[in-house]
A and B are shown apart, each in its own frame.
Chain A
C-alpha cells in the first residue's frame, strides 16, 4: 500500500497535525504519528480544493465540517490523483465546465441583444397607446423642467421663452391662429412655445408640449413651412412617440443596466447601444410623423409640400459628417415620400402676408 506524508486539519479545531496517509483500494486512511487512524475518506467523496500551486488540498464533499488534508509531495499527490476521479490537478474538468458556462453566457448575451433590438421596441409600441392621456401629460410635465434646462444652453433663464414682450404680441397672435387651425384639424390639444435657440429644429414632449426653435423661424421662407414642421411634431404627439421612447429607454436601461450590471465601461456601452437602437428605430417614426404632418397640412387647407421644401433647405445647409446618429432619414428620401402622398394643388397659405411678417419678429428683440 502506498503511503505518504500530509498535513491534516480535522475541521473541529485549528490544530495542525503532521500525518501519514495510506492509500487503500477504495479509501485513503489518515493516521497520526503513532499509527492511530484519524479519518478514512472514500475516494468518491473527496473534493479537490483551491490551494497554492505546490500544494494538493483535499476535503470531503458536502460536509459541514471542513476537514482538510494537504499534500506537499508532488509524487504522492499524483498517486492520489490517479485514484480519485474528482481530483483534477490538470484542470481539464474545470476547463470543460468553464467552456459550458462561456457558451451559455454567449447564448444569453445573444438573446438579450435580440430582445433589445426587437422585443423592447415592439413592447414599447404596444404599451404606449395604452397609457392614459392624463398619465401621459403628467409624464410630459415631469420631464418638461429637465428638457428646458437642457435646451437652455446659453443660460438665458426666463429669457429662453420668446413671445412675452409687447412687440411680439402680433406675432404670437399669428402663431396662435396657425396652431388653432392645425389643432382643429388634428383634434388634439397642443401647447406651443418658441424658444431662443439657433438651430432650425422643433421637439415634442409626451402630452402635447411642443418647442419651436427660433432658428426655424429664421430659416423658413413661408408660414406654411413653419406650420408643416409643427404639423410633423403634432404627428409625434398623436403617435405618442415621446411616451414610446421613454418606455423604450426605461426598458433598455432596466435590461442592460441592471441585469448585466456595470462591468467597467458598461454604462457608456448601454447609452451608446440605446442611441444606436433608438436611431435605427426612429427613422420609421420620423417618416410616420412626416406622413401625418403632410395629411394634417392638407386637412388644414395649407401647402402639404411645405415640409419637403423646408427639409431640403435645412439639410442642404448642414455640414457633411454632422449626421452621425442618423436620427433623421435622408432629407431627399423624406421629401420624395411627402410628394408621393401630398394631394395636388398648393392650398391656401395658413397666414396672410401681414401675419407672416409679424410671426418672423418673434424672438428678434
Chain B
C-alpha cells in the first residue's frame, strides 16, 4: 500500500525534500465538525479543535523522510488559559479603576493599558511558541526554545513602533531581527537553530509592492495638502457653527477637491493592498523559509507566487458560493420566522428575528473562518513544505535529546489576549 509506493524514490532524494500527506477532505471534515462544536459550546471547544488541527498538520508533515509529531493535549491548553485569565483579571480590574481617576493617571491609563497589553501579547506569542516547540517531536527528539520572553516582548513592541512610524518600511528589518531572536533560541535536541536571511534582502524584494500601495496614497496626500488654505480653514473651524465642512470649502476653495483626492488615494491603497497581499505573503514566506537553519541543515524555498494567488482565489470562490447559498436559505428562514412570530405577537416576532440574525452572524463568521483555514492556511502549509529543498540533512541523524516540556501558560495567555503567532 502507501508504504511501497511512497517510499519507492531513493531515500537520498527523500531526505532533501519535505512533503505533506494530509488530505484536504479530511481537514474539511475536521474543521467543519470543529466549527459546529465551537458554536454549541460558545467557543469552549477551541482547545480541542486547536489540538486536533495541530495533530493533523504536524503528523502529516514529512521532512527528510520522517514525519513530525504533536504531543500537546487540550487539557494543557485549557489549564494554561485558566491560569492566564486568573492573572489577567486583576490587571483589567486595575485599569478599570485607573480609568476612573480624573487626574493624570486616568488620562494616560488608556495608553498605559495599550502598551502593557502589547507587551503582554508579544510575551504570550513567544511563550506560546515555546510550548508548541516543546510539544513537537521529530525522530523521537523534541524541539525546545530558550530565551527571555520579556526581552522578546520589549524588542517586538519597539520594532512594531518602528514599522508604524516608517509606514511599513522598517518591516523587513523588524521581521529579520525578531526571527533571529526566535531562531537563535530554538533547538532541535542539541542542534541549534539560526536565522540567516537579512532585512535588506526582504526589503529589496518587497519595495515594489510597498511603492505600489503606499506611493500613490502619499502622493495624493501631499497634493491634497497643498490645495487647502490651512490658515483660512483653521480660522473657520475656530468660529464653529453648523456645517463646518461647507464653511471650510467657502474659505478655502481647494478643500472639496482635496477631500476627493485623499479619498481616492485611500481607496487605491486599500484595493492595491488587498490585491497584492498574496504576492507579499508569498515573498515573505519564501524569504522566511530560506532563512531557517538547524545546525548545518539549511532550507531553500521555490514557492510560486501564482500558487498563493490560486489559494486565495479558491477562498474567494468558496466564500461566494457559501454567501449565495446562505443568503437564499437564510432569507427564506427569516421570512418564515418573521411571519410566524408576528402572527403570535409583534414583539415576539422582533425577538425571534433578532436571535435569528445573531445566529446567522455567528454561522457566517465561523464559515468564512473555516473556509479560510482550509483554502488558505492549509494550502500555504502544504505549498510552503513542498517548495522546500533541504541541504546538510546528514546532521539530522546524530542529534542528541536535550530539554523537557514547558508549561502551556504562554499559550493560555495568548488565547486570553486573543493574539496568535508562530
- Residues of chain A touching chain B, judged by Cβ–Cβ distance below 8 Å, are 9-16, 49-55, 57, 64-68, 72-74, 98, 101-102, 105-106, 108-109, 112-113, 135, 138-139, 141-142, 154-159, 250, 254, 256, 258-266, 268-269, 272-273, 276, 323-326, 330
Say which residue of B350, B369, B399 sits within 8 Å of A324 (CB atoms).
B350
Q: Which of B217-262 contact A (CB under 8 A)?
A: 240-242, 244
Does B48 contact A52, Cβ atoms closer than 8 Å?
A: no
Does A263 contact B397, Cβ atoms closer than 8 Å?
A: no
For the complex, what is the distance from the CA of A64 to the CA of B139, rounded to whole Å? 15
Interface stretch, picked from B52-60, B125-133, B170-178, B208-216, is B52-60
For the complex, what is the distance from the CA of A106 to the CA of B39, rounded to whole Å? 10
Q: Which of B397-418 contact A (CB under 8 A)?
A: 397-401, 404, 415-416, 418
Does A10 contact B415, Cβ atoms closer than 8 Å?
A: no
Does A14 contact B3, Cβ atoms closer than 8 Å?
A: no
A-B pairs with beta carbons under 8 Å apart, 5 shown: A13-B189, A50-B58, A50-B70, A66-B140, A262-B418
B65 to chain A, nearest CB (A): 8
B67 contacts across to A, CB distance below 8 A: 51-52, 55
B191 to chain A, nearest CB (A): 9
Does B3 contact A73, Cβ atoms closer than 8 Å?
A: yes
B140 contacts across to A, CB distance below 8 A: 9-11, 14, 66-68
Does A264 contact B369, Cβ atoms closer than 8 Å?
A: yes
For the complex, what is the distance from the CA of A339 to the CA of B131, rounded to whole Å? 66
Does B242 contact A13, Cβ atoms closer than 8 Å?
A: no
B363 to chain A, nearest CB (A): 9
Say which residue of A13, A155, A158 sits within 8 Å of B398 (CB atoms).
A13
Indicate with 1 or 0, residue by residue over B17-37, a CB within 8 angstroms of chain A CB atoms: 000011000000000000001
- Interface residue count on the B side (C-beta < 8 Å): 71
A262 contacts across to B, CB distance below 8 A: 43, 418
Does A269 contact B138, Cβ atoms closer than 8 Å?
A: no
For the complex, what is the distance from the CA of A319 to the CA of B195, rounded to whole Å? 64
Given contacts A109-B40, A261-B81, 8 further A-B contacts (CB under 8 A): A15-B397, A50-B69, A67-B140, A73-B3, A112-B42, A139-B100, A156-B240, A269-B358
A113 contacts across to B, CB distance below 8 A: 42
A66 contacts across to B, CB distance below 8 A: 71, 137, 140-142, 401
A218 to chain B, nearest CB (A): 17
* Interface: B1 (CB within 8 A): yes
For the complex, what is the distance from the CA of A328 to the CA of B35, rounded to whole Å? 36
Does A142 contact B44, Cβ atoms closer than 8 Å?
A: no
B180 contacts across to A, CB distance below 8 A: none
- Residues of chain B touching chain A, judged by Cβ–Cβ distance below 8 Å, are 1-3, 6, 21-22, 37-38, 40-46, 48, 55, 58-60, 62, 66-67, 69-71, 74, 81, 85, 88-89, 92, 96, 99-100, 102, 106, 137-142, 189, 240-242, 244, 347, 350-351, 354-355, 358, 361-362, 364-366, 368-369, 396-401, 404, 415-416, 418
B354 to chain A, nearest CB (A): 7
For the complex, what is the distance from the CA of A359 to the CA of B271, rounded to whole Å? 53
A7 to B, closest residue via Cβ: B66
Does A14 contact B139, Cβ atoms closer than 8 Å?
A: yes
For the complex, what is the distance from the CA of A276 to the CA of B353, rounded to whole Å? 12
B137 contacts across to A, CB distance below 8 A: 66, 68
Does A109 contact B44, Cβ atoms closer than 8 Å?
A: yes
A239 to chain B, nearest CB (A): 21
B100 to A, closest residue via Cβ: A142
Does A14 contact B138, Cβ atoms closer than 8 Å?
A: yes
B6 to A, closest residue via Cβ: A54
Does A15 contact B44, Cβ atoms closer than 8 Å?
A: no
Does A51 contact B37, Cβ atoms closer than 8 Å?
A: no
Say which residue of A13, A52, A135, A258 sits within 8 Å of B59 (CB atoms).
A52
Say which residue of B62, B240, B397, B404 sits within 8 Å of A52 (CB atoms).
B62
Does B399 contact A53, Cβ atoms closer than 8 Å?
A: no
B236 to chain A, nearest CB (A): 13
B191 to A, closest residue via Cβ: A14
For the complex, what is the distance from the CA of A51 to the CA of B70, rounded to whole Å? 9
Which 6 residue pairs spanning A and B have beta carbons closest together? A265-B365, A9-B140, A263-B43, A54-B2, A14-B399, A105-B41
B43 contacts across to A, CB distance below 8 A: 260-263, 266
Say which residue of A11, A98, A265 sits within 8 Å of B48 (CB atoms).
A98
For the complex, what is the distance from the CA of A323 to the CA of B46, rounded to whole Å? 36
A159 contacts across to B, CB distance below 8 A: 240-242
A247 to chain B, nearest CB (A): 11
B138 contacts across to A, CB distance below 8 A: 14
B85 contacts across to A, CB distance below 8 A: 258-259
For the complex, what is the distance from the CA of A154 to the CA of B40, rounded to whole Å? 42
Does B1 contact A74, Cβ atoms closer than 8 Å?
A: yes
Does B354 contact A276, Cβ atoms closer than 8 Å?
A: yes
B46 contacts across to A, CB distance below 8 A: 261, 263
Does A261 contact B241, Cβ atoms closer than 8 Å?
A: no
A268 contacts across to B, CB distance below 8 A: 361, 365
B355 contacts across to A, CB distance below 8 A: 276
For the complex, what is the distance from the CA of A67 to the CA of B44, rounded to whole Å? 33
Among the interface residues A74, A142, A264, A330, which one has the most CB atoms of the partner chain B within 10 A? Answer: A264
A141 contacts across to B, CB distance below 8 A: 102
Does B44 contact A260, Cβ atoms closer than 8 Å?
A: yes
For the complex, what is the distance from the CA of A14 to the CA of B396, rounded to whole Å? 7
A276 contacts across to B, CB distance below 8 A: 354-355, 358
B141 contacts across to A, CB distance below 8 A: 9, 11, 13-14, 66
For the complex, what is the distance from the CA of A67 to the CA of B46, rounded to whole Å? 30
Does B45 contact A102, Cβ atoms closer than 8 Å?
A: yes
Contacts A14-B141, A159-B241, A323-B350 given; does A258 touch B89 at CB 8 Å: yes
